[in-house]
Amino acid sequence: MVRLGADVTAIGAIGPERAQRAITAIRRQLELARAHGATTILGIATEGVRRAANASAFLERVRAETGLSFTLISGEQEASLAYWGATSESPDTTGARGVIDLGGGSLELIVGAGEAIHWRASLPLGAGAVRASHLPTDPATLRELVAVYDAIRDHLRPLDIPLPVADLTVCGGTATALATMAGRALHKHAERRLPPVDPNAVALVSGRRRALTDASLDAVIRLLLRYDADELTRRYRLREGRAPLLLPGALTLFAGTERFGADRLWVSRRGIREGAIVAWQRVGDGWLDAASAGRL
């Protein structure tokens, strides 16, 4: 996890150490893509780069050192790609669909039907941004939890989301990690001394789709308040660097689910990357124009 947005939140720009980590990661991704026979490789930069004062210089350095040109996409384009990626996992679902894309720097909320996007919004409420702004201690205090939840709800309240939606899906690595932690914590990996857990808190599974319910998010939040990031990583075998993002992510998803009037979130392993592939496959070189328009 490179987390470009962490530097941007702290100093307003991408620092040299994190920039080098990003370039190392990109080189590795390029090697893997070519090893798998990819002939077209798309590079997109999102909120962590959008907010950086040195975004242009960083992207030029990436191009010079990796040979790949990255496109700095807008929040609206990011929302479109997230929607197409997340819904491609269950394309036969009918009716209005809601998608929440929880990134490190931004939060996208989208409503559409089929491949057509009817409404979208991009907010600076990514898990990393919320943690940096509102959750300074580890583990967080109850007072911090209440304050950050109220702040997120205040951001979401004015949005004119077209409701109702028949289906609500979330994508992004933090959401996937929360679902994984819910399964591990509420099943055989939980220690006996933990407090009893409501069986309804277990992440639902329907076919190949997993869901986070209100009860499972509530149970995970209670655990996240109990342990610090190092202990969470050890207990639940989390990817390094992911644990600090889970509490702000869980609070954001709890508030987002409430705002959509839903009681569960289907968790998709697909997101912006897959959405970019879908758009490119459908319209070729016009894929970013399609993302701007919200139509394929």
Residue % of the chain over a pLDDT of 90? 79
Has residue 225 been placed in a domain? yes
148 and 243 belong to one structural domain? yes
Has residue 293 been placed in a domain? no
174 and 231 belong to one structural domain? yes
61 and 96 belong to one structural domain? no
Cβ neighbours of residue 16 under 8 Å, at least 6 residues apart? none
Alpha-carbon gap, residue 202 to 186, rounded angstroms: 6
Q: Give me the mean pLDDT over the 229-255 stretch.
A: 94
CATH number of the domain enclosing 237: 3.30.420.150
- Residue 18 above 70 pLDDT? yes
Has residue 288 been placed in a domain? no
Has residue 296 been placed in a domain? no
Q: Which domain covers residue 37, as residue numbers?
A: 4-72
pLDDT tier for residue 6 given thresholds of 50, 70 and 90: confident
21 and 57 belong to one structural domain? yes
Alpha-carbon gap, residue 210 to 81, rounded angstroms: 21
170 and 211 belong to one structural domain? yes
Q: What is the pLDDT of residue 208?
A: 60
Q: Give me the mean pLDDT over the 286-294 stretch.
A: 97
Do 236 and 185 form a contact (C-beta atoms < 8 A)?
A: yes
Has residue 283 been placed in a domain? no
CATH number of the domain enclosing 30: 3.30.420.40
- Residue 271 above 60 pLDDT? yes
Q: pLDDT digits over 252-267, tens only? A: 999 999 999 998 999 9
Alpha-carbon gap, residue 167 to 97, rounded angstroms: 5
57 and 99 belong to one structural domain? no
Q: What is the pLDDT of residue 195?
A: 45
Do 104 and 129 form a contact (C-beta atoms < 8 A)?
A: yes
140 and 258 belong to one structural domain? yes
Considering only the C-alpha atoms of the chain, give the largest distance between any 2 of them, rounded to a whole number of Å: 56
Counting the structural domains of the chain, the total is 2
181 and 45 belong to one structural domain? no
Q: What is the pLDDT of residue 183?
A: 85
98 and 203 belong to one structural domain? yes
- Residue 237 above 60 pLDDT? yes
Q: What is the pLDDT of residue 191?
A: 45
Has residue 254 been placed in a domain? yes
64 and 96 belong to one structural domain? no
Which of 270, 241, 251, 256 is CA-nearest to residue 6? 241
Q: pLDDT digits over 70-82, tens only? A: 999 999 999 999 9
pLDDT tier for residue 240 given thresholds of 50, 70 and 90: confident
Q: What is the pLDDT of residue 193?
A: 44
212 and 107 belong to one structural domain? yes
67 and 95 belong to one structural domain? no
Q: Give me the mean pLDDT over the 63-92 stretch.
A: 95
Has residue 82 been placed in a domain? no
Has residue 77 been placed in a domain? no
Q: Give me the mean pLDDT over the 134-154 stretch.
A: 94
